[in-house]
Amino acid sequence: MKRYYFAAVMLFLFTLTTKAQILTPVHWSYGAKKISATEAVVFFKATIDDGWHVYSQYVKDGGPIKTSFTFKTSPDYVVDGTTIEPTPIKRMEKVFNMEVGFFEKSVIFQQKIKLKKGQATVTGTLEYMTCNDHQCLPPDDQEFSVPVK
């Protein structure tokens, strides 16, 4: 009887630990490069696990959550233009009943900034959604802080 009790407890614990795992198929990294004394480009790189994808910034309403960037205002810099992305893969997705643009494996977004004091720390939040052929994860917000020297 003890053996069955032990097996039942172990199965229960295994189930709890399996459900507690959080999927993180997208890993973000950041960098910056000065292109002049008063300008820089900030890079946002998403490394995406096999089978998963991240959506473009330009997804129509009614589709998945598009990738977006929100920059905090600062006396040290000002955002110059919109965030640039490479050409996405486009495909009709049945679950959204529309064609959507997305990225697989990796993608680098770029934002040009104008420096007011020669150096700055660019901060803000990015929001993105990731899916594979079987499921979508809820949208995720990532705070970023990128030094520009």
Residues 37 and 117 sit within 8 Å (Cβ to Cβ): no
CB 106 within 8 A of CB 45: yes
Amino acid (1-letter code) at residue 91: R
Domains of the chain: 25-148 (2.60.40.1250)
CA separation for the pair 25, 47 (Å, rounded)? 8
Question: pLDDT digit string (tens) for 6-50?
Answer: 343 343 444 444 445 689 999 999 999 999 999 999 999 999 999
Q: What global pTM score does this model have?
A: 0.84
DSSP 19-86: HH-----EEEEEEEEESSSSEEEEEEEEEE-TT-EEE-S---TTSSPPPEEEE---SSEEE-SPPB-P
Per cent of the chain over pLDDT 70 is 86
Q: Are 89 and 102 in contact (CB under 8 A)?
A: yes
**Which stretch of 19-23, 59-63, 89-93 has the lowest confidence by average pLDDT?**
19-23
**Higher pLDDT among residues 97 and 16, named by residue:** 97
User: Averaged over 86-91, what is the pLDDT?
Assistant: 97
| 110 class by beta-carbon count within 10 Å (0-12 exposed, 13-18 middle, 19+ buried) | middle
Structure tokens at 2: 């003890």
